[in-house]
Amino acid sequence: MAKPEETYQCQTVNCGCLYDPDRGDRRGKIPKGTCFCDLPEEWKCPVCGAGKRVFRPIAGPGSVKEEGS
Amino acid sequence: MQSFEIKPNVHWVGAIDWNIRDFHGYSTNKGSTYNAFLVKDEKVALFDIVKKPFVSELLHNIHAVVDPGKIDYLIVNHVEMDHSGALPEIVERVKPSKIICSEMGKKALIEHYHRSDWPYQTVKSGETLSLGNKTVQFLETRMVHWPDSMFSYLAEDRLLISSDGFGQHWATSERFDDQVDHSELFSHAAKYYANILLLYSPLVQKLLGNVQKMGLEIDMIAPDHGLLWRSHVGEIINAYDEWSRQTFKNKAVVIYDTMWHSTESMAKSIARGLMQEGVIVKMFNLQFSHRSDILTEVLDARALIMGSATLNNGMLPRMADILCYMKGLKPLNKMGFAFGSYGWSGEAAKSIQEALEEMKVEIVEPCLRVKFVPTHDDLKQCVEMGRKTGKRIMAG
């Protein structure tokens, strides 16, 4: 699994889906090694369908922990 | 229960579960129903299935309308097993040409029944399916309340088949909202919202907006549990709007567990103070009250006041239960404080306060702790805390 600063989590209530760049998103046809910022703008959360902007890194700048929700 | 025509050529063919009393931790004191709907058109479609033990009731009800082998399409609005448990038997019996569900529905069905060979057809929001004279429009309702959830709308009948939305756990011989006691119906609907949907309130708001935007004219809502709405459609939609905005009354819920009645006498004194200020108070001793009944009262309360005696350096386990349950349901816009009697270490009230803070409850008073048995002055202080909180509630 990638570093927590590079791993992004969906903030939709009760979703919590993780985007791990080391794994990519097979169903969304995103190859392994794609960093979150390089995901296409129309990419959707594979669990709940939310857009990219609903995701936050799990640590570091921009994370819920550091900036609050 | 016999099948029952709810709209021309649309039949209720579900099952009534008179006996269920515990629905994964939700107390269903009056049972439930698993509603399924059969549409007989040029194509025959079955919307939603039932829980596994009720498969023969479903088949008997279908038989009364049409030979089950004549069903063309199975529509799975929601994969949870109370609505899909009988699916393997039904697929075997019906041999449908299509199983229609959302993309997440297909994934979840395969993860439940391990049959990737079934004839799935996935649909997205806005897509339609013609049954001949009737057209079905699908509306995905992701995370209301599972990723797979969707509604089906029969345009010609202005009928919204709403899956778990607008449902109630209530087993009745009647099928429609206007055939039962109105206030009991709404209390079951509120309990369902508080215990199943509360956490999804922001998404419910969005969904209500989408339904309005799509301009769906609705004159009947057919949920998968409980009574169908035909006379109080506007009222239940308004109630969902209010519940999902988490509006509140001038009401406080006092929840406690007690070892030797000391925390209980504190709770009663706090309640007395609240009542003196004109606040509606609901008291729950956790020994006698079910978590899901408590959450129903939390739904429209302004204040959450929670107390426990200290046991082995922590709170009593029933308090941990309700806090864990409540945290998951994410109530918003609450104020409150913690209290409890203790002997020497006294962690319980502090731990409750931390849990309330974690739920973003506005802490209006520092936690109130009393050693062993409260004195008259201690109880006066409890009344005072109740009054102070009551004043804040009444100030709006």
* CA angle, A49 then A51 then A56, to 5°: 110
Distance from CA of B224 to the nearest CA of A (A): 22
pTM for this entry:
0.94
pLDDT of B271 strictly over 50: yes
Burial of A22-59, coded b for 16+ CB within 10 Å and e otherwise, reads eebbeeeebeeebebeebeeebbbbbbbbebebbbbbe
* Among B122, B121, B186, B131, residue whose Cα is nearest residue B154: B131
* Among B282, B249, B280, B277, residue whose Cα is nearest residue B267: B282
Chain B neighbors of A15, CB-CB under 8 A: 143, 147
The answer to whether B310 and B345 have CB atoms below 8 angstroms apart is yes
Tens digits of per-residue pLDDT, B214-263? 889 999 999 999 999 999 999 999 999 999 999 999 999 999 999 999 99
B157 is catalytic: no
* Token reading at B71: 């069903």
The model's confidence at residue A68, banded by pLDDT at 50, 70 and 90, is low
**B123, B140, B143, B195: which to substitute to probe chain A, counting the most A Cβ within 10 Å?**
B143
How far is residue B87's CA from residue B101's CA, in Å, rounded to a whole number?
A: 13
B164 is catalytic: yes
Among residues B80, B148, B177, B277, the one annotated as catalytic is B80
- The identity of residue B104, as a single letter, is M
pLDDT of B346 strictly over 80: yes
pLDDT of B375 strictly over 90: yes
What is the ipTM, given to two decimal places? 0.78
Q: What is the pLDDT of residue A67?
A: 65
Residue B146, chain A, CB below 8 Å: the answer is no
* Token reading at B81: 């097993």
| Look-up of token digits 């002055």 | B377
Tens digits of per-residue pLDDT, B201-218? 999 999 999 888 888 999
Chain B neighbors of A13, CB-CB under 8 A: 143, 199-200, 202-203, 330
Are B147 and A47 an interchain contact pair (Cβ–Cβ within 8 Å)? yes
> Which residue segments constitute the domains of chain B, with CATH numbers given?
4-245 (3.60.15.10), 251-394 (3.40.50.360)
**Mean pLDDT across chain B:** 97
Q: What is the pLDDT of residue A69?
A: 46
Q: What is the pLDDT of residue B18?
A: 98
Are B200 and A47 an interchain contact pair (Cβ–Cβ within 8 Å)? no
